[in-house]
Structures are given as structure tokens and as C-alpha cells.
Amino acid sequence: MFPGEIDVQPSTYLDHLGTIFARFGAATQDSGNISYGVQTAGHRYFVKTAGDPAATAPYLDFAGRVGLLRNAALLARDVVHPTMPSLHAVIESPGGPLLVYDWRDGEHLGTNRDDPTSPHQRFRALPADEILVAFDALYDLHARLDAAGWVAGDFYDGSLLYDFANHRLTVMDLDSYHHGPYRNHMGRMFGSTRFMAPEEFALGAPIDTRTTAYVMARTALIYLTEPTEAQHAVLQEATTTRYPTYSAFHEAWQTASSTTTINRST
């Protein structure tokens, strides 16, 4: 259905592809990317582009945004998981690549965090069992990413959508994940301070599987308001003395959560 290349700008092509029912640009994000929700005769798609080639976002120029989109396409082709929208196509254009994903319904957990009616606060207020199901899915995704060699980067709750009606978590915008361990070349790296590991602030520090474990543990500490004693111990170890690998953290979390399930059922 999708061509490998087009000779017009992304928005022009999408106008012909179907009806654009949503647009996400400078008003909703500072990345410089422009994304669209597109309705065709039989499907809805989320299409992400590098935005205006002449525009320089606060953090990345056009070439940098194109590079991250290509990285996101590599990740989506490398790891397939129910929490991630399927990538249908990468279309080359004069305005850079268009990444065509499935559309996912859901509310953005990273907005208006202090508003008690926000998706952020409503998710935190869900029953612990429902939050744990979502985190099991998030952690399983990262187990697959970790096994494939991907290291978390610039992950925060802005990467999460939650469909409250269908109890479904969607993970998106993993453009800054890195294939393989590497060194911090920036000092203070991109990301939200509340989620970032210490090495993401230290120039030259190794960024690796331990970083992924820290970031995932921080996410649970932010959203899971009443972890069990066993779960809290796992999360604290991941963010203090540290697990040596993501898989060690994930195994410890599964053991703690399995104990929780048994206790709640007895």
C-alpha cells in the first residue's frame, strides 16, 4: 500500500493518502518533529516525520531528527512487542523519512502531572493490580529490547499512552534508544530528571543495561504509590546499589510480584 519513496512533502502526500484527523507539532512538543493521525478507508495510522527542514528545535536540527527517526525504524524492525505500535513502512521524501505506524488510542501520561484529573494522576490512582499489569508489559518489552542489545535513552512518562477503557499500555517515541552500551558524550543527557540515572549526568560515564534497569525502576517508583515491601526493596536496589544487568532487575521484580500475587489470592 505504501510507496518506498515520494517526491512531495510529507503533508502533501498524507492529504492524498487519507484524512488528517490529528497533528502534533510545536504546540505539543519541542522535538521539532511533526506527526499526524491519518484516517484511510480501512485503517488509522500514526505518521511521524522530521518536521520542517528549515526549523531548528531547541535540541536537534533537521539532520539530527532524521537520524533519530532512522534509529526508531531500526528498533521497531528489530523488536516487535504488543506494547509498541506496528511499523508498516518507512517512506523516503524530500522532507526526510515518514514512519508509518498503527494508530493507538490512549491518553498521554506525561502531561499536566499536577492536575488531579490528568491521565497521569488517574493512572496513579488505578488499583495496584491494574498498574502492575501495565508495568509487567512495560518490563517485558524492555526485557526483549535488552536481549536485542538496546539501551534506554530519553525515556520518561511522555513515552507512555494508556487506554483506560481497554486497560492497554502503549509505549512510543523510543527514538533515542541506543543499540549497544556506550559512553555519555554530553554530560547532562536528554531526558526528564525524575527518570534519569546518575550516569546520564556524568560525562564519559558508561550507559548500558544497568541504566535501563534504573530508569524502569524510577518509573515504577513514580507511578506505583503502594508497592509491597518486596517490590519496594527491588526498586530501591535498582536505584541505589544497582543491579548488574536489566535481566537481574527484571528477574527480581518478577519474583517480588509473584509473591504479591500469591499473597493477594490467599
Q: What is the pLDDT of residue 260?
A: 56
Stated pTM of the model: 0.93
Q: What is the pLDDT of residue 29?
A: 66
Strand (E) or helix (H) holding 133: helix 128-147
Chunk the chain into consecutive blocks of 10 residues (it has 266) and report each block's average pLDDT, rounded to whole numbers. Answer: 92 94 78 92 95 80 94 98 98 96 96 94 96 98 98 96 98 97 96 96 98 98 95 98 98 89 48
List Cβ neighbours of 125 (8 Å cut-off, separation of 6 or more): none
- CA–CA separation, 200 and 197 (whole Å): 5
Question: CA-based angle 246:220:264, to the nearest 5?
Answer: 105
Beta-bridge partner residues of 178: 151
Q: What is the pLDDT of residue 266?
A: 43
Nearest residue to 219 (alpha-carbon basis) of 156, 163, 172: 156
Q: What is the pLDDT of residue 249?
A: 98
- How buried is 232 (Cβ within 10 angstroms: 0-12 exposed, 13-18 middle, 19+ buried)? middle
Tell me the domains of the chain and their CATH numbers: 10-102 (3.30.200.20), 107-265 (1.10.510.10)
